[in-house]
């Protein structure tokens, strides 16, 4: 189809003068616009010359428009000049960095991470402290050497694992009596504690209701005849927490994993709390106003419970209790003061036993 056409014809003036020359030029490329030119009567060759010039101008405009469209198509379509390789790489890196920043920000806001190594909590027992209104430490500062050491209240918790016992593979607890070695271990432990605590204030000797702990406590209690002996079933052996990492040769039953942890945690909260500092005793020149207020408590219990208490009191991950090893009649000591500090004096110490009397089972 032609892009343009030219029509030339004569138009009558209704008999009122010479005819008009009418030029109708229609150009499809320029928005299908028609142009109508009317001339007075005159030579036809002049009109044809004008029509040819005008058509040539239209063709020139059409060529310019087609060239412009071609350049536009190359910019926008398949004829696009490829960008340098670093442009898409840079855009990808910027997008990835932006996405990571947004993800980290949103994730940290919605799912805050716990500190990997949290700071020490001085008020660790506020949820279960037996006193009606315990005073939390509000002014814990480094010691000033120029000032006298402040007086403290201290509870020394001594944890003793029972002695070696019979029939380890049998589940019946009444068949778990001490062996001869176990009885000797308990005797040596009682003697050692008597030496360590000579002249000290021993408040009580607590033990579980399991036979091996009862027999061990009875032997040790002979060396402290004036100290009260208390039996507490919450101190019985069990699975204090799901071990992490798991054991390679032992797997607790689902029943034990469900019932033991609440009981053993209850025992921890029952016996582990900060002492309250009492006023110094009255009286002149006694020198006691600067002495620490210290009391000792002995527990004859079990290896799993001791390991859990040890990790829990020191604010370690309690699920790591199985990483520790505690031998029969090993001595563990923890010091708790009124300011919220907890210190380990020793763990599973069997130095009071001769080498041939050191056992694990």
Residue 15: is its pLDDT beyond 60? Answer: no
Residue 133: is its pLDDT beyond 70? Answer: no
Neighbours of 125 (CB within 10 A): 21
pLDDT band at 1 (very low <50, low <70, confident <90, very high): very low
| Amino acid 40: pLDDT | 46
| Amino acid 239: pLDDT | 94
Closest to 361 in 3D by CA, of 308, 323, 325: 325
Mean pLDDT of 27-34: 45
Backbone CA torsion sign across 91, 92, 96, 102: positive
Which position has the higher pLDDT, 63 or 2? 63
| Amino acid 53: pLDDT | 66
Domain extents in the chain: 4-72, 153-277+291-357
Give CATH superfamily name and number for 153-277+291-357.
Phosphoglycerate mutase-like (3.40.50.1240)
- Tokens 């004859």 correspond to 300
Q: Return d(Cα 14, Cα 33) in angstroms, integer.
A: 29
Mean pLDDT of 330-335: 98
Mean pLDDT of 123-141: 72
Q: Return d(Cα 301, Cα 120) in angstroms, integer.
A: 27
As given in the structure block, the two tokens for residue 335 are 């010091």
Instruction: Report the chain's mean pLDDT, rounded to a whole number.
Output: 80
As given in the structure block, the two tokens for residue 301 are 């219990």
Residue 193: is its pLDDT beyond 80? Answer: yes
- DSSP secondary structure letters along 219-288: HHHTT-TTSEEEE-GGGS----S--SSPPSS----HHHHHHHHHHHHHHHHHH--PPPPPPPPPSTT--G
pLDDT band at 13 (very low <50, low <70, confident <90, very high): very low
Residue 312: is its pLDDT beyond 50? Answer: yes
Q: Return d(Cα 358, Cα 161) in angstroms, integer.
A: 12
What is the side-by-side strand order in the sheet with 20-27? Answer: 4-11, 20-27, 33-39
As given in the structure block, the two tokens for residue 277 are 């500092």
Residue 356: is its pLDDT beyond 80? Answer: yes
User: Could you read off the pLDDT of 195-210 as tens digits, one per residue?
Assistant: 999 999 999 999 999 9
Mean pLDDT of 160-172: 89
| Amino acid 348: pLDDT | 96
Q: What are the CA-CA distances from residue 140 to residues 126, 291, 348 (Å)?
A: 16, 20, 30
Residue 21 β-bridge partners: 10, 39
Mean pLDDT of 226-254: 92
- DSSP secondary structure letters along 329-350: T-EEEEEEETTS-EEEEEEEE-
Weakest mean pLDDT among 39-48, 295-304, 335-344: 39-48
Residue 297 β-bridge partners: 157, 204
**What kind and span of H or E run contains 173?**
none
DSSP-derived secondary structure letter, 117: S
Q: Return d(Cα 263, Cα 273) in angstroms, integer.
A: 17
pLDDT band at 175 (very low <50, low <70, confident <90, very high): confident
pTM summary value: 0.66
Q: Return d(Cα 328, Cα 331) in angstroms, integer.
A: 9
% of the chain with per-residue pLDDT over 70: 68
**Composition of the chain by helix, strand, coil, percent to 5:** 35, 20, 45
User: Could you read off the pLDDT of 268-304 as tens digits, one per residue?
Assistant: 999 999 998 876 666 554 455 567 889 999 999 999 9
φ and ψ at 177, to 5 degrees? -75, 160
- DSSP secondary structure letters along 73-114: HHHHSTTPPPPPTHHHHHHHHHHHHHHHHHHHHHHHHHSPPP
């Amino acid at each position: 189809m032609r892009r343009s056409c030219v029509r030339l014809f004569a138009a009558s003036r209704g008999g009122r003068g010479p005819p008009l020359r009418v030029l109708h030029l229609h150009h499809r490329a320029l928005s299908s616009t028609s142009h109508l030119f009317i001339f007075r009567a005159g030579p036809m060759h002049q009109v044809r010359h004008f029509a040819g010039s005008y058509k040539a101008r239209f063709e020139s405009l059409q060529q310019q428009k087609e060239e412009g469209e071609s350049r536009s198509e190359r910019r926008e379509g398949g004829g696009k000049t490829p960008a340098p390789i670093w442009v898409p790489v840079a855009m990808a890196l910027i997008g990835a960095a932006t996405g990571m920043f947004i993800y980290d920000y949103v994730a940290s806001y919605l799912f805050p991470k716990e500190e990997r190594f949290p700071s020490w909590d001085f008020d660790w027992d506020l949820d279960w402290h037996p006193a009606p209104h315990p005073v939390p430490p509000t002014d814990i500062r480094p010691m000033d050497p120029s000032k006298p050491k402040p007086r403290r209240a201290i509870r020394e918790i001594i944890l003793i694992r029972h002695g070696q016992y019979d029939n380890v593979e049998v589940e019946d607890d009444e068949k778990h009596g001490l062996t001869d070695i176990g009885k000797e271990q308990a005797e040596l432990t009682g003697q050692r504690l008597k030496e360590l605590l000579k002249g000290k204030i021993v408040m009580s000797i607590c033990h579980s209701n399991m036979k091996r702990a009862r027999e061990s406590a009875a032997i040790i209690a002979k060396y402290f005849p004036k100290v009260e002996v208390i039996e507490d079933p919450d101190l019985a052996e069990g699975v204090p927490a799901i071990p992490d990492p798991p054991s390679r040769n032992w797997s607790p039953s689902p029943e034990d994993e469900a019932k033991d942890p609440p009981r053993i945690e209850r025992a921890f909260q029952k016996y582990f709390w900060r002492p309250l500092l009492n006023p110094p005793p009255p009286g002149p020149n006694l020198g006691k106003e600067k002495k620490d207020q210290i009391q000792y408590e002995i527990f004859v219990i079990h290896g799993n419970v001791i390991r859990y208490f040890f990790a829990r009191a020191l604010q370690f991950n309690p699920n790591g209790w199985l990483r520790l090893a505690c031998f029969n009649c090993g001595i563990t000591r923890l010091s708790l003061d009124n300011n919220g500090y907890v210190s380990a004096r020793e763990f599973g110490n069997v130095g009071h036993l001769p080498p041939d009397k050191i056992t694990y089972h």
